[in-house]
Amino acid sequence: MDQTKKEFIEFMMESDVLRFGSFVTKSGRHTPYFVNTGNYKTGKQIAKLGSFYAKLIKETAGSDFDCMFGPAYKGIPLATAAASALYNDYGIDKPYFFNRKEEKDHGEGGSLVGYKPKDGDRIIVIEDVITAGTAVRETMPILKGAADVSVQHMYISVNRCEFGQDPSKTTVAEVMDEFGITVHPIVTVADIYEYLKESGKYADVLGGMEEYMAKYCVL
């Protein structure tokens, strides 16, 4: 496992974002681990998180995109942090925007805040985790309704590697097939499992993860 992945897993655990126990995902699956980016709550944490995202964006898309979108609600601080880190770490200055859950009917109105996308824009999406792909399917109509844009890349903290509507392929693969979006995770569930196994401290967690991965994951 490369050093960046190891550091990110440790960072999530130290921040109480990667947790182990008994949880239910948005898709209704009972899982022994959970990633809650809502637990990031300090300036140091969000700055460090932004740098992890920025590094991955720099390595994959570079500066070959026009703007960044963070879906409400958890995607809002993620996109903001990634945009800031891209500039501070690499000198790449890109606009970002996000949506409101409810459209505003006063002031400037509308459902989008920040940059206003225009026809031809190439957008990258910053999210936390993909499990069943529900958030992606909610996001695309918002972006396509704003302008004639394209989305080629999505960046997430963790790829849970779980199958979606088709049991033979992961949700990430479905997103690629359905929308033409390449999803880039900082780490995968396989990386997390490998880290826990190598550490030798999480024997009580490994069994549950193995069972869950065998039931829901396509690796």
Structure confidence by residue, pLDDT tens digits, 72-94: 888 999 999 999 999 999 999 99
Given the residues 44, 101, 106, 201, the one annotated as active site? 106
d(CA 212, CA 206): 10
pLDDT tens digits, one per residue of 108-150: 546 899 999 999 999 999 999 877 677 788 889 999 999 999 9
pLDDT-derived band at 106 (thresholds 50, 70, 90) equals very low
Lowest mean pLDDT segment, chosen from 15-19, 138-142, 150-154: 138-142
What is the structure's pLDDT at 123?
Answer: 97
* HSE-up (13 A, CA, CB side) for residue 29: 18
Q: Cite the DSSP H helix spans in 72-153.
A: 75-90, 134-146
* Matching residue, tokens 């936390």: 128
> Would you say 117 and 143 are in contact if contact means Cβ atoms under 8 Å apart?
yes
What is the structure's pLDDT at 107?
Answer: 45
Given the residues 26, 30, 41, 104, the one annotated as active site? 104
What is the structure's pLDDT at 8?
Answer: 98
> Would you say 125 and 156 are in contact if contact means Cβ atoms under 8 Å apart?
no
Q: Is 197 a catalytic residue?
A: no
d(CA 144, CA 98): 14
d(CA 41, CA 49): 11
d(CA 146, CA 176): 21
> Looking at residue 32, what DSSP letter applies?
E
Instruction: Provide the pairing of β-strand 18-24 with 30-35.
Output: antiparallel
Topology of domain 3-104+112-212, CATH: Rossmann fold (3.40.50)
